Homo-oligomer: A and B are copies of this chain.
Amino acid sequence: MLSEEYKRFIERWGSLGVLWGINRSMARVHALLILSEEPVGLDTVTEELEISRGNASMSLKELRNWGVIKRVSISGDRRDFYVAEPDTWNMIFSIAAERKKREFDPALEALDNLLENAEIEEGTGVHERLTELSDTMKTFDHILKRFLGNEKVSRGLLEMLSGGKSI
């Protein structure tokens, strides 16, 4: 049984989930796992959050796809249990990587597609703007890839940067 404060947090996290492109249920389930001392099973999720089994099951699956929770087994129990990803950097990187894949990559692709297929006259403002946008996004992409691709390196960089050294 959850305290009022915990419940409030779960609801708040859930509302935020909508802004994040994951849905309310998923975010609530995630919050529940973050707040749970013990691994959590499907039944607990449905009971505490008052959502259907189907919804709970799907949400857990999606959260696993995002890499922010993990399945664990408890010996002597046949059921599946879940815990939030314990490494918070991992969690943040997983989210960032997943969102890049879903939101950024397709946009860049759409743009390059357009540049290839629509025969936009060179020298026009539109052509110039689109190529510039594509270039800028590619640079961004490049940086994100490096950043998210090599965890250890990134952490080092992050810690260094956050440590007060001027960029």
Query: How many of chain A's residues touch chain B, expressed as a range?
Result: 35 or more
Which residue of B36, B114, B125, B142 is within 8 Å of A37 (Cβ)? B125
**CB-nearest residue of chain B relative to A147?**
B167
Which residue of B34, B37, B117, B135 is within 8 Å of A133 (Cβ)? B34
Chain A, residues 77-115, CB within 8 Å of chain B (1/0): the string is 000000010101101100000000011001100110110
Q: A34-B129, A37-B124 are in contact. Are A19 and B102 (CB under 8 A)?
A: yes
Which positions in A face B, CB cutoff 8 Å? 3, 5-6, 8-9, 12-13, 16, 19-21, 34-37, 84, 86, 88-89, 91-92, 102-103, 106-107, 110-111, 113-114, 117-118, 124-126, 129-130, 132-133, 135-137, 139-140, 142-143, 146-147, 153-154, 157-159, 161-162, 167
